[in-house]
């Protein structure tokens, strides 16, 4: 693949080695231009005006939804615009969850979930007198079929699972999870926040019930996200937020809801963000999945290989680059992750340090915190070399023999 | 960024020091301080008698800066009166805010090695954790 750095204005600064795409991605110029162009040529309150300009805003919103549906392999009406993956998951917990989970029921949650696919289920369970039951990774950081079978049972109402963990970077056996969940009449809430940027998705083929993702990890602006829900499910669910735009009619003593998906989009939505999301999707489609996956797999392999050669580094989860997407979490012996991140920062290398919003997983790994390097389409071999070069010096810099 | 302004020799050495890393016998006050940004978590133990900090130690874990800072603080404040300690804590905060005179800086002894942190906002919380915890403990 051609080098993409120059497509991204922020990365034209060659001293910057941005390896924190899993937290949020950078944006290509075409996305920034699309947002600007929308506000310069098409901005009005969508769905609320009869004049021509308002129609342009409505069209921009509809076209963005259509682009996302094509990208994810589902129907337009099955996609709800939200602010981010967190809001998407909460929407399901507050609406589907409120009417479908009762005392004695169980919610199966992978312990490696991001807090956003865990805490809403804890709260729902508490409210309803249901139980959260955790699934655990094996010693290689993998979720096995046996573990799925151990936890998913007749009482399970929902299975919460990230397709790719934001810490371990490993692909979960989602097809198996969906099959087992459906066998017992449960639904699956798939968190695609970390998978959607790195692999093609086809939600209909996959057969999941709900899926959540965030635009800002996908080269789109912050503040725009998506919830996918199977039409029958969305159609049967009560609304989430209520007010303008989500109704078909309102009387003094009641209201009727708009059709799916607008039933779930109360108030004026972020059309600028939607337009940016569409531009980001089209940018990725133009690059093509084959080129993206090949490039990212190459960087992953290069990086893991280089890390294995540095003494005192522990990588979490199976270090096989073939089933790892986007992220490498690790620790440097004796050195706190925040010190590692500060030391790398001095060389312009941006990595994340902390608990990565996955504290129960950190507890399981017995570490509390770790460092994480993550990739996007714009990263280069030079970024990986700078990271490795900087990482090599961390221990001696802090006064430890290597 | 000049990394050695933050991770100078005093700091890296003190971050590894075990000298004050112990529970305090007959401790009169034990207080936990947490910095959620790094997950730095220290428990400060003091034995205060007749207005004097007779002994002090800390337990817990965190980044090099938080650990070095706790160690340097105890070096400076152990054996002092509560009143003096409070004044030095204020002086330390002045240094972090970049409002300190050369004379005051000298009073902080080795803890002056943390001065460089003032220019790294992301890590200031690590440097002040032990000092805030001490301040709170002395007010109890
Ligand atoms: C796997 C996973 N799920 C959910 C989220 C939450 O995303 P957001 O903060 O955009 O809602 C993240 C982001 O960190 C993530 O990595
Ligand atoms: Zn710290």
Strand partners, A160: A109, A189
Q: Is the pLDDT of residue A122 over 90?
A: yes
Please indicate if any CB of chain B lies within 8 Å of the CB of A338. Answer: yes
Residue having the nearest C-alpha atom to atom 14 of ligand 1: A23
Could you give the ipTM of this predicted complex? 0.89
What's the whole-number average pLDDT of chain A? Answer: 96
- Chain centroid offset of residue B123 CA: 14
Please answer yes or no on whether B7 and A335 come within 8 Å at the CB atom: no
The per-residue pLDDT for B118 is 85
C-alpha to C-alpha distance for A246 and A244, rounded to whole angstroms: 6
- Tokens representing B116 are 């460089």
- pLDDT for the residue A63: 98
Distance of alpha carbon A109 from alpha carbon A107, whole angstroms:
6
Q: Helices (DSSP H) in A173-288: which residue ranges? A: 174-183, 203-206, 231-236, 271-287
> From the CA of B41, how many Å to the nearest CA of chain A?
11
Residues comprising chain B, all counted: 140
Model confidence at A402: pLDDT above 70: no
Cβ-defined contact of A399 to B12 (cutoff 8 Å): yes
- Give me the percent of chain A exceeding a pLDDT of 70: 100
A82 lines ligand 1 (CB under 6 A): no
pLDDT at A332 over 60: yes
Q: Assess contact for B29 and B46: CB atoms under 8 A.
A: yes
Angle between helices A85-94 and A119-128 (to 10 degrees): 10
**Do the Cβ atoms of A346 and B1 come within 8 Å?**
yes
Measured between CB atoms, which of B39, B123, B126 is closest to A369? B39
* Contact criterion met (CB below 8 Å) for A193 and A217: yes
A214 lines ligand 1 (CB under 6 A): yes
Q: Which helix (H) or strand (E) holds A44?
A: none
Domains of chain A: 5-26+288-397 (3.90.1150.10), 30-284 (3.40.640.10)
Query: How far apart, in Å, are the Cα atoms of A251 and each of A239, B82, B129?
Result: 17, 68, 57
pLDDT band for A49, please (50, 70, 90 cuts). confident
Q: Is the per-residue pLDDT at A300 higher than 60? A: yes
Q: Can you read off the two tokens belonging to residue B72?
A: 């340097």
Predicted local distance difference test score (pLDDT) of residue B1: 62
- The predicted-structure confidence for A128-147, as pLDDT tens digits, reads as follows 999 999 999 999 999 999 99
- Tell me the per-residue pLDDT of A158-192, one tens digit each, with 9 for 90 and over: 999 999 999 999 999 999 999 999 999 999 999 99
Q: Check pLDDT > 80 for residue A355.
A: yes
Where does residue B93 rank: exposed (0-12), middle (13-18), buried (19+ CB within 10 A)? Answer: middle
Beta strands in A57-137 (DSSP E): 79-82, 106-110, 131-135
Tell me which residue in B2, B3, B38 faces A343 most closely, judged by beta carbons: B3
Q: Do B64 and A345 touch (CB under 8 A)?
A: no
Say what the pLDDT of residue A113 is.
Answer: 97
Give the 3-state secondary structure of A113-125.
Answer: CCHHHCHHHHHHH
**Segment holding B13, helix H or strand E:** helix B9-16
* H-only helix segments in A288-401: 289-308, 337-345, 359-365, 381-392, 394-397
What are A80-113's pLDDT values in tens digits?
A: 999 999 999 999 999 999 999 999 999 999 999 9
The reported pLDDT for the residue numbered B36 is: 85
Calculate the alpha carbon distances from A294 to A169, A307, B47, B137 in Å: 16, 20, 62, 56
pLDDT at residue B4, as a whole number? 87
Query: Nearest CA to CA, how far is A338 from chain B (Å)?
Result: 6
Give the span between the Cα atoms of A83 and A193, in whole angstroms.
13
- Which residue of A lies nearest to B62 if distances are taken between CA atoms? A336
Catalytic residues of A: 357
Which regions in chain B score pLDDT beneath 50? none
Can you give the pLDDT at residue B39?
A: 84
The Cα A212–Cα A195 span in angstroms is 10
The confidence band for A401, taking pLDDT boundaries of 50, 70 and 90, is: confident
* pLDDT on residue B29: 94
Residues of B in contact with A345 (CB under 8 A): 1
Residue B60 to chain A, least CA–CA distance (Å): 13
Q: Which domains are delineated in chain B? A: 3-139 (3.90.1010.10)
CB of residue A162 inside a 6 A radius of ligand 1: yes
Going by CA atoms, what residue is nearest to atom 12 of ligand 1?
Answer: A193
Q: Are A316 and A370 in contact (CB under 8 A)?
A: yes
Structure tokens at A126: 């508490």
What pLDDT was estimated at residue B140? 82
């Amino acid at each position: 693949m051609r080098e993409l750095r120059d497509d991204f204005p922020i990365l034209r600064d060659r001293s910057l080695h941005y390896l924190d795409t899993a937290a949020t991605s950078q944006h290509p110029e075409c996305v920034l231009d699309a947002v600007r162009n929308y506000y310069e040529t098409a901005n009005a309150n969508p769905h609320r005006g009869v004049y021509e300009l308002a129609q342009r805003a409505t069209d921009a919103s509809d076209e963005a939804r259509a682009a996302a549906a094509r990208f994810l392999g589902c129907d337009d009406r099955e996609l709800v615009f939200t602010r981010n993956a967190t809001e998407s998951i909460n929407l399901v917990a507050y609406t589907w969850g409120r009417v479908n989970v009762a005392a004695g029921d169980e919610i199966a949650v992978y312990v490696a979930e991001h807090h956003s696919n865990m805490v809403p289920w804890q709260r729902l369970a508490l409210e309803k007198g249901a139980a959260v039951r955790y699934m655990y990774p094996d010693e290689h950081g993998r979720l096995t079929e046996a573990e799925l079978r151990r936890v998913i049972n007749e009482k399970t109402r929902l299975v919460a699972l990230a397709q790719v963990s934001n810490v371990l970077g490993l692909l979960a056996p989602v097809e198996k999870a969906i099959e087992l969940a459906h066998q017992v009449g449960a639904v699956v809430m798939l968190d695609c926040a970390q998978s959607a940027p790195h692999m093609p998705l086809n939600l209909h083929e996959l057969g999941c019930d709900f899926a959540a993702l965030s635009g800002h990890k996908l080269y789109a602006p912050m503040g725009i996200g998506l919830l996918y829900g199977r039409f029958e499910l969305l159609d049967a669910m009560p609304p989430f937020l209520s007010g303008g735009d989500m109704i078909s009619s309102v009387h003094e003593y009641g209201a009727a809801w708009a059709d799916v998906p607008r039933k779930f989009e109360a108030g004026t939505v972020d059309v600028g963000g939607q337009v940016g999301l569409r531009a980001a999707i089209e940018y990725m489609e133009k690059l093509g999945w084959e080129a993206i996956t090949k490039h990212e797999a190459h960087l992953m392999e290069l990086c893991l290989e280089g890390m294995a050669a540095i003494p005192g580094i522990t990588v979490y989860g199976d270090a096989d680059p073939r089933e790892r997407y986007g992220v490498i979490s690790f620790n440097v012996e004796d050195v706190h992750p925040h010190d590692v991140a500060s030391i790398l920062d001095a060389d312009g290398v941006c990595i994340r340090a902390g608990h990565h919003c996955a504290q129960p997983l950190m507890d399981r790994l017995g570490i509390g915190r770790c460092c994480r390097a993550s990739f996007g389409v714009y990263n280069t071999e030079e970024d990986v070399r700078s990271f490795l070069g900087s990482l090599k010096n961390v221990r001696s810099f802090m006064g430890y023999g290597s | 960024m000049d990394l050695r302004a933050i991770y100078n020799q005093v700091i890296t050495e003190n971050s590894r020091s075990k000298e004050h890393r112990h529970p305090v016998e007959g401790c009169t006050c034990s207080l936990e301080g947490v910095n959620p940004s790094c997950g730095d978590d220290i428990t400060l133990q003091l034995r205060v008698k007749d207005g004097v900090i007779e002994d002090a130690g800390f337990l817990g874990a965190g980044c090099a800066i938080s650990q070095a800072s706790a160690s340097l603080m105890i070096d400076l404040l152990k054996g002092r009166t509560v009143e003096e300690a409070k004044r030095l804590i204020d002086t330390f905060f002045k240094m972090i805010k970049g409002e300190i005179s050369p004379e005051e800086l000298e009073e902080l002894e080795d803890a002056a090695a943390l001065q460089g942190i003032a220019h790294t906002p992301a890590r200031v919380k690590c440097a002040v954790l032990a000092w805030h915890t001490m301040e709170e403990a002395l007010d109890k």
